[in-house]
Amino acid sequence: MTSSTPYDVRDAEVIVVGSGLAGMTAALQLAPRAVTLITKTAGLPGGSSLYAQGGIAAAVGPDDRPEDHAADTVAAGAGLVDAAMAALLTRDGAALVRRLLDDGLPFDRAPDGAPLLGREAAHGAARIVHAGGDATGRTLVTALADRLRATPSVRVETDAFAVDLVLRNGRVCGLLACHPEGWVLHRAPRVILATGGIGATFARTTNPAEATGDGLAIAARAGARLADLEFVQFHPTALAVDADPVPLLTEALRGAGAILLDRQGNRFMPDEHPLAELAPRDVVARAIGRRVAAGEPVFLDLRPALAAKPDGFPTVLALCAEHGLDPFAEPMPVAPAAHYHMGGVVTDADGRTSLEGLWACGEVACTGVHGANRLASNSLLEALVFGARVARDVAERPLAPLPPFALPRPPAVAADVSHILLDAIGAEARSALYEGAGLVRDGLGLLAARRKLDRLAAALDMLRCEGDDAHEDAKAPPDIVRQWGEARNRLLVGRLVVHAALAREESRGAHCRSDHPLPNPIHGDGATTRTLTLSDLAGTAGPLSGDAACCIL
């Protein structure tokens, strides 16, 4: 490392990127090791966990077993779930949730102290633990954030946008981040990605604005193995209002008795699937999506659920009121929206990726537990289980000291680039992905989306400063660099999703292609290789250009 640096260098034993449930769980479990938690949000907590209305699925009921939960997980995943990983998830998850209950975290309980258990789609038993009714995510991550603030070994860096990994001879040596005050090299031998999903790369999503696929893009640029990127789950019942993100009407409503109705007030899901409103999410989403695409509105009648659980859905009631809707008076308009990504950075059971020194957990990771279609309320469980497993592995696995390396050069964006221009590129990218790789896809639509995303990626790359010696006055400030970086990540993630969706010429789980409407039996045993790396994009649309600009030294 040279003595003269163009930015700050900060050292840590471990870097955690992301402030949702997975990231905070990992950081807390790593105490008392020196951890730097980096989040691009203004404070704790952040990410999609905060908005999770559903609960945590765990076999903690008297007549339930982790094996039954695992079987439901495998069934929902449409033939692509790793059964061993599902068994690990449900076994570790039941034990972990029991510990959280014993620790006094604010879960909803019966008068005798037992947890109140709900049922959601494709579960064979009532096994969903809630907190604050339909505010499970917010209640849980708020409690963990309080604990994290009180943990002296964890340094939290807010408003910090993680840009790229720093690699030396294939080994992770740290992370380059853009802070409000400028560039920072976070130097560490261990990096944990816990950045959440990719929902905000789509034009209609339930995810918060920060869900731009940053961790997936960072890992891709570094050459990590990725898998199952084509499997994007659309939540069936997002409130059909003009909002970004769109409000979510939790699946627990249907578990408590809410029913779906067409324009004439007729219930249609019993004709679609034996489980009716509690069918797997992809089935319900497409049943609604077909009607909406044909110009037929669909409604969710919440009144049976509200009568069954008068105090069970405060978040839903507040969201409806915010948009001038009264669920006690009439059914609520709903439509599907991008919600959860089953694919991600390939990891093993301990969260290790294909790169030495890099771990991943939560939605950014692909552990094999979701297959082609995530089982309801397994997402918070996955974040808890694998956040803890990653922390344990990081703590127990010693790494040699970092080798000396030259300073990486941060990407520079031209000073005349405006927020308006970047907003326009981002909006066009989101629309292209939603239209071409949305709920139902076909080859022609995917090819059109690929051409548009390739064109936008090339245009974005042209906004960089020319040459390594560009004068500082010619470079954009940190807020523009961050917005440019998010646009770069959106476009790369979109191109990867489209590439994977074109390659899978079948319909399975959340991946539905109208030109290949049936599942291909050879893909149904879970053994088919579904991995890719950034280099797989080469040759499909010309050079990778700025997409490959990871800090490799």
In this structure, the chain runs to a length of: 553
Segment (H or E) for 173: strand 171-179
Closest CA to 250 of 437, 53, 420, 400: 53
CB 490 within 8 A of CB 429: yes
Q: List Cβ<8 Å contacts ≥24 apart for 275-280.
A: 275/121, 275/122, 277/121, 278/119, 278/120, 278/121, 278/122, 278/123, 278/254, 279/121, 279/122, 280/76, 280/121, 280/122, 280/373, 280/509
Closest CA to 280 of 343, 370, 206: 370
CB 509 within 8 A of CB 234: no
> Known catalytic residue: 127?
no
Which segments of 342-413 are extended strands (E)? 344-346, 358-360, 365-366
Give the C-alpha separation, 419 to 464, whole Å: 15
Strand partners, 171: 168, 356
Residue 338, SS3 per DSSP = strand
Question: Sign of the C-alpha dihedral, residues 102, 104, 107, 113?
Answer: positive
- Return all residues near 168 (Cβ < 8 A) that are at least 6 apart: 402, 403, 405, 553
Active-site pick, 281, 441, 488, 504: 281
Residue 32, SS3 per DSSP = coil
Strand partners, 57: 128
Write the CA distances from 258 to 243, 267, 318, 331, integer angstroms: 23, 11, 17, 10
Segment (H or E) for 242: none
121: which 2 tokens?
């789609």
Segment (H or E) for 163: strand 161-168
Active centre residues (catalytic): 281
